[in-house]
Amino acid sequence: MKKQESHSFRFGNVKDWFYGFTAKLIGFFVSRLPRSVLLTIGGQLGALIFRLAPQQRALACEHLRRSLDFTDEHQIRLTAKQCFENLGKNIFEFMRFPRMNSKQIQQYVSFEGVQYVKQALAQGKGAIILTGHFGNWELLAASISATIAPLTPIVRKLRSPRLNALVSSYRSQAGYTTIDRDTGIRQALQCLKRNELLGIVADVDTSVSGVFVDFFGRPAYTPYSPVAIALKTGATVLPTFIVRQPDGSHRAIIEPPLVFQRTDVKEKDLVINTQKFTKIIESYIRQYPAQWIWMHQRWKTRP
């Protein structure tokens, strides 16, 4: 038994090393490409994955079919393909982070609603930048940190330690650090106590504490952490989204502060206000359906 565990351990180390080395090697070459070429290849990579991953392709098409008013199968497949293409572009843009300074990051992202961040920080209780896996959310974190104020997102660690370390280094070189989702609640609260920006992505089905709210007409298990943290600290919640433009640039939109509805029942407050921000996320996805991750098993957990 011990011998088997030893072999398994060694294999795990080799696999981890391979993932880290391969990603670093690809990143080295990708980061040296002109941005227009990088985006073209990233889109083509996404299209290739769309063709070679039948389960993810079918899941994306099924989610689009059930969620949006699409009746044309060609339109459904095209939108799903564009979704994969956007993800490929995201990955390649992320790999370029080590060779970009703050001015270069600012060059590709324009902002609307910066005044809401300034007003929130003027209150001295910090602010929560609430977004989804929409557009290029990693670039959103980098551009906010480069343009407005340092942002610290809450993230989930990757399974591969070497790959996780590489991704963390890319984020750090782009000007922002992160907090571990599973162990960093105290760090998150301290971030707001220092009157800083805390980033939360709350649009996926995960193992963290959540509630069921309506999402595209179906109950979806959704993290309530943005609401719980805001109610505890008094921090302002600012729904924020980054939209990829046809010319390859990005437009970041900071919405007005989320107005919380309060009752005498905490559990009810969590549901009502989680539903509020979920509807805002849904509205952006409806407007730009090709920029969300339809291949994610969003409705996996059932009531």
In a domain, 174, yes or no: yes
In a domain, 115, yes or no: yes
Q: What's the structural domain count of the chain?
A: 1
Taking the C-alpha atoms of residue 109 and residue 144, their distance in angstroms, rounded to an integer, is 9
In a domain, 301, yes or no: no
Contact criterion met (CB below 8 Å) for 136 and 250: yes
In a domain, 296, yes or no: no
In a domain, 270, yes or no: yes
In a domain, 302, yes or no: no
Q: pLDDT tens, position by position, for the chain (303 residues)? A: 444 544 444 656 777 777 777 888 888 888 889 999 999 999 999 999 999 999 999 999 999 999 998 889 999 999 999 999 999 999 999 999 999 999 999 999 999 999 999 999 999 999 999 999 999 999 999 999 999 999 999 999 988 899 999 999 999 999 999 999 989 899 999 999 999 999 999 999 988 899 999 999 999 999 999 999 999 999 999 999 999 999 999 999 999 999 999 998 989 999 999 999 999 999 999 999 999 999 999 999 998
Distance between start and end Cα atoms, the chain: 40
In a domain, 298, yes or no: no
In a domain, 246, yes or no: yes
Q: What's the domain range around 14? A: 2-291
Cα dihedral 300, 55, 84, 208 in deg (nearest 10) = 20
The dihedrals phi and psi of 164, each to the nearest 5 degrees, come to -65, -40
